[in-house]
Amino acid sequence: MKTIIAACSQNLSGSRASIQTALRTLLAVPWPSQRDVRSALQLLAVLQWVLSFLLLGTVSLLLLIYLLFTGLWLVPVLYLAWIIFDWDTPEKGGRRLPCLRRWTVWKHFRDYFPVKLVKTHDLSPSRNYIIGSHPHGILCVGAFCNFITGSTGFEELFPGIRSFLTTLAGNFRLPVFREYLMSGGLCPVTRRAIGYLLSQKGTGNAVAIVIGGAAESLSCRPGVTTLILKNRKGFVRMALRHGAFLVPSFSFGENDLFRQVVFEEGSWMRSIQRRFQKMMGFAPCLFYGRGLTSGQSCGFLPYSRPITTVVGEPVAVPKVENPSRELVDRYHELYIRALLKLFNENKTKYGLSESDELHIL
């Protein structure tokens, strides 16, 4: 009996010693610093944004199709009925949710790069505006962060101004994704949608348009500042019809977020990209960024590079219901001059050299 008690006592002592050793080992492990926690939150914020824009629409569509053949078939049927009933909402201002625009996650998203918004001139709430956003880049990070989220203080810098951002109309045909886009203030880049915002929502509306679009993304790469703008005049015509002032903006650093395989003009791969762009509205780019676990590895996340979006001086535009081609050309030229002035006055402040030029095609 004494032998058994002694053995138990020895085992208990050994167990206590093992537990104490384990605790000491655990306490010796360095805890994540506040900087590590912030970096992780920033990375997760960017990850959810990239996955949302690349996969949310497609995954939602496939899920609803799958549910049609299960006992939950009523869910996709009811949602389809809702989409039919709600079909025109994206072109009538959408459904902005201020709470979503103020999500804390967007502050982590902003700080990952970081993204900064710079104001050079006031915008009067008594007028409406079309903001030209340049360049397109791969995923329009600067335009999204500044004009859709409240993380960079657009409403504080421009009091009384409501910002909207336009994107491909096809995105609003995808289930669930359309709700996500509208909640942030995104609208289709169509005449009807833009005209509604500039005529039916009162004043103080600023509609941001990424004018270069999909064609511009094909030439996006670090160190290159080429814009597709010479033959893009529809936004000027819309501004004249509604008397909306034209405002140039440029996101310095946008083209540094990804690396892209650029195919030369005339090559068969470039031809495929052009044809796909005409059919689908967007161009299939072969790009890569950093990986999820390391900034040195390759992946689909953007590199952490600073983006500074500078909003320039408004170009005063009269209201002309049926503007002539000559009038459109005149204000298009004035807009290009304002954009070039904005670029040249700020390029050396935000990472470019004095010799860098803005090429407009």
Token digits for 52? 């949302």
Measure the CA–CA gap between 174 and 165, rounded to whole angstroms: 18
Please say whether the beta carbons of 175 and 64 come within 8 A.
yes
- Residue 353: strand, helix, or coil: coil
Q: How many domains are contained in the chain?
A: 1
For residue 243, being part of any structural domain is answered with yes
> For residue 98, is the peptide bond before it cis, meaning its omega torsion is within 30 degrees of 0?
no
Please give the pLDDT value at position 32: 72
The residue written with tokens 């053949």 in the block is 69
Is 148 buried (19+), middle (13-18) or exposed (0-12) by CB count in 10 A? buried
For residue 271, being part of any structural domain is answered with yes
- Residue 252: strand, helix, or coil: strand
For residue 223, being part of any structural domain is answered with yes
pLDDT digits (tens, 9 = 90+) for 157-174: 999 999 999 998 989 999
For residue 20, being part of any structural domain is answered with no
Please give the pLDDT value at position 262: 65
Measure the CA–CA gap between 164 and 182, rounded to whole angstroms: 10
Please say whether the beta carbons of 50 and 301 come within 8 A.
yes
Question: What residue numbers bound the domain in which 246 lies?
Answer: 35-360
For residue 63, being part of any structural domain is answered with yes
Closest CA to 240 of 355, 328, 356, 141: 328
pLDDT digits (tens, 9 = 90+) for 226-238: 899 999 999 999 9
Please give the pLDDT value at position 1: 45
Please give the pLDDT value at position 108: 97
- Residue 95: strand, helix, or coil: coil
For residue 327, being part of any structural domain is answered with yes
- Relative to beta strand 287-290, strand 359-360 is unpaired
Non-local (6+) Cβ contacts of 41 within 8 A are 108
Closest CA to 143 of 271, 267, 253: 253
The parts of the chain modelled with pLDDT lower than 70 are 1-18, 20, 22-31, 220-224, 262-270, 272-274, 276-285
Closest CA to 214 of 149, 135, 288, 141: 135
Measure the CA–CA gap between 62 and 219, rounded to whole angstroms: 32
For residue 158, being part of any structural domain is answered with yes
For residue 22, being part of any structural domain is answered with no
pLDDT digits (tens, 9 = 90+) for 72-81: 999 999 999 9
Please give the pLDDT value at position 12: 43
